[in-house]
Amino acid sequence: MIKQIPDLLSGREVKTLKALAAKANFVDGRISNPHSKVKNNLHLHDEKAWEKSSSMLETALMRHEDFRNFAFPSGITKPLITKYDAGMRYGLHPDSPMMMVEGKAFRSDLSCTIFLNDPDSYEGGALRILLGDSQMRFKGAAGSAVVYPSTTLHEVEEVTEGERLVGLCFIQSRIPDTAKRNLLYELNEVAALEGLGMSDENYTRIQAVQFNLSRMWMDN
Ligand SMILES: O=C(O)CCC(=O)C(=O)O
Ligand SMILES: [Fe+2]
């Protein structure tokens, strides 16, 4: 399951993040993945701008109820502003399963792209996610995000004009298994939507199922 969050950032936050990026230094994105044959983008490389932008992006994700309900996050990598100029792309790849975050191993269960510039301001640059032999393509409005399983094969199509600016991060979920995570998300959503209309007895029984599946499936 893939989750789109249309209203992750306010217009003001988008403006601040774009202004930070406009003044900051960027380097070849292969810095974090030197052996990649398909990666061709630019990573923000500016300590101060990274501190400020990552904290804004992480705060925006963690305050958003849809994100928390969908991802069951136990941790997020420090979001990184990434830029694709004309001619750049990130060819088809799976995301690395393990990352080091502050000296600790971190498992990537979900990946997240936060769109920072207006989709009409650049040509190409859609995020394409393969689902078996079909696909989904995303080129979201500024301030929106898409969260998808890190297990998928995905790519960023070539930007042919303009600049694609995004925030990227990976999420470790308390429910590593995608199928279980999606089932509990669905159950919790339906219980939240329909619970008020249920008899007290049935609501209590549904709650027991929600809580006990959480106990069974969640890591700390
Ligand atoms: O730029 C994006 O939307 C996705 C980048 C990506 O797939 C990655 O950093 O692993
Ligand atoms: Fe990726």
Q: Where are the domains of the chain?
A: 3-173, 178-217
pLDDT at residue 103, as a whole number: 87
pLDDT for res 34: 87
| Number of Cβ atoms within 10 Å of the Cβ of 64 | 17
Centroid of ligand 2 to alpha carbon of 169 (angstroms): 9
What is the block-wise mean pLDDT of the chain (220 residues), using blocks of 10 residues?
Answer: 97 98 95 89 96 98 98 96 97 93 92 98 98 95 98 97 98 96 97 93 96 94
Q: Give the closest residue (by CA) to ligand 1 atom 7.
A: 155
In terms of phi and psi (left: phi > 0; alpha: psi -120 to 50; beta: otherwise), the region of 132 is left
Atom of ligand 1 nearest to the CA of 154: 7
Question: How is domain 3-173 classified at the CATH fold level?
Answer: Jelly Rolls (2.60.120)
Question: 161, 122 in Cβ contact below 8 A?
Answer: yes
Given ligand 1 and candidates 154, 159, 163, which is best to mutate, with the most ligand atoms within 8 Å of its CB? 154
pLDDT value at residue 193:
93
pLDDT of residue 150: 96
Residues placed in the known binding site for Fe cation: 93, 95, 154
Ligand 2 midpoint to CA 118 (Å):
21
**Which one-letter DSSP state was computed for residue 89?**
E
The C-alpha atoms of residue 129 and residue 101 are separated, in whole angstroms, by 25
- Which residue is it, tokens 């601040």? 16
Residues 6 or more apart in contact with residue 141 via CB below 8 angstroms? 6, 115, 118, 119
Q: Which ligand is nearest to the CA of 166?
A: 1
Shortest-distance atom of ligand 1 to CA 155: 7
* Neighbouring C-beta atoms of residue 114, cutoff 10 Å: 27
Question: Annotated binding residues, as ranges?
Answer: 93, 95, 154, 164
